[in-house]
Chain A
Amino acid sequence: MEDLIKKRIKQVLKGDQSAFEEIVSLYQNRLYQVCYRMLGNSHEAEDITQEAFIRAYINLHTFDQKRKFSTWLYRIATNLCIDRIRKKKPDAFLDAPVPGTEGLDHYSSIAHDSPLPEEEVERMELQDRVQYEIGRLPDKYRSAIVLRYIEELPLQEISEILELPLGTVKTRIHRGREALRKQMKTL
């Protein structure tokens, strides 16, 4: 798999744009999923996933081909998500759900800043609830938790993606689990 990717990367670097399509189709679900779990909004997730791939394409010559491509790609995407979360923070409350996108989006776009009434939380479907609880996690823990439990990546790889020491990643995951435990006492 990594060999195939490296072959495609070389083709793209030689100017064959179409070789990038295979890279996109191999990673789009994983990248979109991370963005969706981080941002909790399908429109933003789509936006950021697209942006991440475009940046990867433009900066492909800076990718060190001795390293794992997915780590590099995840890094671009998580950085973009973190930026986006920071930027929208002050008016997160005003971030009204887009018409026609019900369910998940609704819960998560109002997520962390305004906890829902307990009865409403209890009536949620499991999948809505998962997204709601992830969205309530503090940003710092959320990225580590998403990479660990949604993407199921090893701690070492998460440390490379987030460019944080392994110890810091562990601490964030520990705290994320503790935060979740407290959030879920009602479950």
Chain B
Amino acid sequence: MNAKVVMKRPDSLSKIDFTYCPGCHHGIVHRLIAEVIDELGIREKTVIVAPVGCSVFAYTFFEIDGTVASHGRAPAVATGMKRARPDRIIFTYQGDGDLAAIGTTEIVHAANRGENITVIFINNAVYGMTGGQMAPTTLIGQRTTTTIHGRDPKAAGYPIRICEMLSQLEGPTYIERVAVDTPQHVMKAKKAIKKAFENQINGLGFSLIEVLSTCPTNWGLPPVEAIKWLQENMMKFYPLGVYKDKTREEAKEGIV
């Protein structure tokens, strides 16, 4: 990261130090979210629902109200919150094990209802917190502590592409996959996150931003090589881009 960005701490980040490993992308994404909350002026009405995973402490890292959901259930918790107080801004922050394995039901149905919430989805192709086991997003052939010879689809199925899958539903408003591996991608990721919050503020419905992220620790790679691995492997299977954008479709229809 370049030094200019790191200097000013966003108001929406608390004074508590991150607990993430060196080179882990969780921290970068936290910062982007905090900047977006600051820029949108919504700190005093935003509530985070943290997951179970390495980002379980996320609810303490932001200077906003927050809680931790049980593993995978953050979209249901956020639904309860949003239905109870529709004028608050609610976002979940979830890993790939949390969102795409144990919490598949909750994310599919929250998306399908078009819940007016924002979901930040960290795909690092592995269960970080529990020590690098296979995640639903683990690539074919990728070694993890529960697939030591590499993921074999015959035994362990195929990696799930969440953006592609959820964009098949009528319910969601905005779905985009981003990465934070380069400064340009970081800018793009921030723009996407911002739009995902703006959608909620404007009552437009469900937005999900998937962020391809590194887990140097469990991938067994130094941070720089981890980024390279992400670019050469993950990005091929998980192409970046906008998978669904009802706001744009509607705008187009309006022009026609």
Q: Do A and B bind each other?
A: no
Chain B contacts to A: CB under 8 angstroms: none
